[in-house]
Structure 1
Amino acid sequence: MTAALRTPRVPRPDRPETLEMTVAAVDPLTADIRHVVFTPADPDGLASPTLPPFDAGSHIVVHWTDGANAYSLTNDGAGPTTYEISVRRSPDGAGGSRWVHRLEVGDRVTVTRPRSLFRRANTATHEVLVAGGIGVTPILSHARDAARWGRPVEVIYSHRPDAAAHADELRALCDRPGATFTEVGGPEETSAELDRVLSSSPIGTHAYICGPGPMIEAFRARAAEYRWPASRVHFEAFAAPELDPGEPFDVIDRASGRSITVPSGVSALTALEDAGYRVPNMCRQGVCGECRLSVTAGVPTHRDMVLTDDERAAGTSWLPCVSRCEGDTLEVALP
């Protein structure tokens, strides 16, 4: 999802990692995007009338019978009484979107506490928020936060004519001094607008972009051409670009010395699962970072959209769902 370093999450008995929620509202925003509002299933059991707060750009993980997926929160994170998500139904129902689109008011749902992997940089003096398609969801949260504190912001929303979810809310949030909202459609118009902000934004500007993988990669490459420091470009992808099948290699379990062959066209994550290992994972596309492993020997070939440039250069972290390695073997610390 984003290039943030994960740290171990240690459960606390007085702070459950999951929350039981009830669907309070379901609203169709477009033909294939639904907005779902969750409220506490047992409000009397909460220590306060509000839910745990969250930073702009945070997400919750929604669980169902045979899976789970992360969805960005769209509402204000200061003293929230609801958690709200907007979900686009994938044509193949992948990632749980079909399940979410079947939810009805009154249904019980288990979610995690909010996690922040796409938070705002406190050093930013100006912000550019870029949304592509359903990538508008965390951008909306950032726009709400900027409006609440009166920070200067530019919001750019690239979408199809029939898929402008939350456009009215963004327009209202930017109807104030120091804020602008621009809608674009199509690759050429989007590229021209992004070139404009990359070439003309004042020093100290931080850019936040969420959208399809190719859009994010193009934006990062263009930002580098304009000599933007990588630390000022923050991104979160909801889908990864197509990847080539790669060459076969072996993953070595550091603890046991066992070797697991990863054939061409098969992910290392799948090969490890087939060999009996249980590696935490979620997206299986290199965009969430859930399957991150530590590299103890060998040189990884990074194909994810999570690790920072510094983390890639260090070569000590690896996402087996999409990444491979240079050479024949890679030694990792496995669960």
Structure 2
Amino acid sequence: MAKGRGINLNLPSADDLFSTQEERDEVKREMVMEIGIEEISDFPDHPFKVRMDEEMQNLVESVRQYGVLSPALVRTKPEGGYEMVAGHRRKYASEIAEKKDIPCIVRELSDEEATILMVDSNLQRETILPSEKAFAYKMKLDAMKRQGKRTDLTSEPVAWKLKGRESAEILGEQVGESKDQVRRYIRLTNLIPELLELVDNSVLKEKGMLQIAMRPAVELSYLPKEEQTALYETIESEDCTPSHAQAIKMRQFSEQGRLNEDVIFSILSEEKGNQKEQFRMPKERISKFFPPGTSVKQVEDTIIKALEMYRKRERSRER
């Protein structure tokens, strides 16, 4: 059961969780309660992954030694218990550290308010994956639009509607992205999980795993699910991912109703500019032959001329 400790919250860490002075003042008027971890469920469709990485390992060790220093934020559930709004990583670290309770702020929030707070608090993380941004931006944008449609509010969301500004533009300003970039991220929610995982690896860069960059991923998001599945199977079998140009070509074939496994294989088999075989030589091995300041092109031209002269000399000897 939740146990109120009767301590006024006046912690500096609240500034990290709540961005405005009004929110911080509200937090200071609330109470910290120790709530059993088993009473707290995760936020529905929580878009942020909780990974056992080095940062999480450090958090677990900190929780073991000092407990959770910054209270989580939860809201009550109609059927009883609590729902986590901000603090999933702290809850997970507490479970690993075998803690039974976690300090929480209990706040009554609407679905829209809870969604916006959940997204905003998690966007403060140092590393955020493309898939996390994609679903988080979509959830917050949908919540903002629902708020804007309400007529019983006099808050900022209604002002957005009256000013004729798009929610995507407002969201972009809040997260430091253009409205077009916000839309690109949201497009990623149309990718099948297997392809989205490859997009995430463009950030994680796990060894032995392929990557798909953002720009081709957005193009691929327009393919129907069955074509995406066929593409993923070809990616696995051929051990390569499409370039931006190849992704555009696949989208064009798809819109024409002509994309199938054979076409996907044919497009992926095309040589990409960054796949052309290159010869590299350590700079220190050839720098002694050129004066300082010699351009790369001059070095390449000189080496080619030297090789041509060498080949002519060898051919004359063979005669």
- TM tier, smaller: under 0.3
Considering fraction of residues, name the structure with more helix: 2
Considering fraction of residues, name the structure with more strand: 1
Q: Which structure is richer in relative contact order (CA contacts within 8 A, separation 6 or more)? A: 1
Which entry has the higher C-alpha Rg, 1 or 2? Answer: 2
TM-score, structure 2 normalization: 0.26
